[in-house]
Amino acid sequence: MGQLSGRVALITGAGSGVGEATARVFSMEGARVAVLDVIGDRSTAVSESIKRETGDAFAIAANVADAADMERAVETVIHRWGHLDVLVNNAGIQILGPFHTQTESDFDQLIAVNLKGVMLGCRYALPTMLEHKKGVILSTSSVLGLVGDPSLAAYGATKGGIIALTKALAVAYGPLGVRVNCVCPGDVNTPLVKEFFDYQPDPEAARQEVAKHYPLRRIAEPHEIANVLAFLASDKASFISGSHVIVDGGLLAEVY
């Protein structure tokens, strides 16, 4: 039996990248998985693949920044499976460029998806977790919530907000049986990171240069982040709450 056997999980941004890998790893570990993505075709493709290969899943097309969508998503999971044990707030976007050239609309969009989306997921998942006196909320932050990147200032601000929200919710709801944590990955081989490299004058050179800064001399693969999320969702992490878990191949351990 897997470490998540019998659990019900809702994973946002699960149509690609870390979210897709998390849905697949959770399923392999025995969880029933609701695959949520703003692009319905992507969530359907992932959920159908999971059903063929490892377990029980279904797709939800929803925008994490829309309260009605997130309320409906959680209600759909509860209607289908009776409860919700694990929420993974993974959906996120980035807008590249110097901070002084970004618009108010750019900032609003980043806040809406990356931070408000986490808030809404928590808002609608918490009541059922509190009713059952147990639950796990996980979110995907970033090392850029801890250090600065000149091309991703606003993005980093949203990721720092996730860390602060994680700690506050862990304190508020720990006495009621809910654990709350987040992961802080470095660069991961996902479409979002590819977009960052493609933004550079020489994408391949940029990829190689970034890899040199990691003590492991490479960036992460999505399943390496998903495996950490699966551990945090499991009973093996039963005394971990209010933490931001750095999964960065040693990147932040180096001074110069």
What is the token pair recorded at 12?
């946002």
Architecture of domain 8-185+225-247: 3-Layer(aba) Sandwich (3.40)
Whole-angstrom Cα distance, residue 8 to residue 233? 11
Whole-angstrom Cα distance, residue 254 to residue 256? 6
Per residue in 6-37, pLDDT tens? Answer: 999 999 999 999 999 999 999 999 999 999 99
Residues serving a catalytic function are 155
Q: Residue 89: beta bridge partners?
A: 139
Whole-angstrom Cα distance, residue 18 to residue 113? 16
Query: Could you give the angle at the alpha carbon of 72 between the alpha carbons of 68 and 74, nearest 5°?
Result: 120
pTM exceeds 0.75, yes or no: yes
Show me where the domains of the chain are located: 8-185+225-247
Ranges of beta strands (E only) in the chain are 8-11, 32-37, 57-61, 86-89, 135-140, 178-185, 244-247
Query: Could you give the angle at the alpha carbon of 180 between the alpha carbons of 252 and 127, nearest 5°?
Result: 155
Per residue in 53-70, pLDDT tens? Answer: 988 999 999 999 999 999
